[in-house]
Amino acid sequence: MEKKNFIVEKLKVRVFDTRAEMGKNAAIDAAAYINQIIQAKGEATVVFAAAPSQNELLENLKTADVEWSKVRAFHMDEYIGLPAEHPAGFGNFLDRAIFKSLPFKECFYIRDGGPNAQEVISRYVQLLGKYPPDMVCQGIGENGHLAFNDPPVADFNDPHQVKVVELDDICRTQQVNDGCFPSFDAVPKTAVTLTISTLLKIPRHFTVVPGTRKAEAVLQTLTGPITTDCPASILRNHDNCTLYLDADSAEKIEKLF
Would you place residue 117 in the very low, low, confident or very high pLDDT band (cuts 50, 70, 90)?
confident
DSSP H helical ranges for 47-192: 55-61, 90-97, 117-130, 169-177
Expressed as residue numbers, the domain containing 196 is 19-212
Residue 194 lies in a domain: yes
Residue 86 lies in a domain: yes
Residue 154 lies in a domain: yes
Residue 165 lies in a domain: yes
The whole-angstrom separation of Cα 116 and Cα 108 is: 17
Residue 250 lies in a domain: no
pLDDT of residue 115: 61
pLDDT of residue 116: 82
Q: Provide Rg for the chain, Cα atoms.
A: 17
The whole-angstrom separation of Cα 239 and Cα 235 is: 9
The whole-angstrom separation of Cα 195 and Cα 149 is: 7
The average pLDDT across 181-194 equals 93
Residue 256 lies in a domain: no
> Cβ contacts of residue 87 below 8 Å, gap of 6+?
93
Using alpha carbons, select from 132, 135, 125, 98 the residue that is nearest to residue 241.
135
Residue 136 lies in a domain: yes
| Partner residues linked to 31 by β-bridges | none
Tally of domains in the chain = 1
Residue 41 contacts residue 55 (beta carbons within 8 Å): no
Residue 8 lies in a domain: no
For residue 136, is pLDDT > 70?
Answer: yes
Residue 126 carries which side chain, given as an amino acid letter? Q
Start-to-end CA distance of the chain, whole Å, equals 17
CATH number at residue 104: 3.40.50.1360
pLDDT of residue 84: 85
Q: What is the pLDDT of residues 234-244, one digit of tens each?
A: 999 999 999 99
In angstroms, the Cα distances linking 68 to 34, 45, 62, 111 are 9, 10, 10, 23
The whole-angstrom separation of Cα 47 and Cα 32 is: 16
The 3-state DSSP composition of the chain as helix, strand, coil percent (nearest 5) reads 40, 20, 40
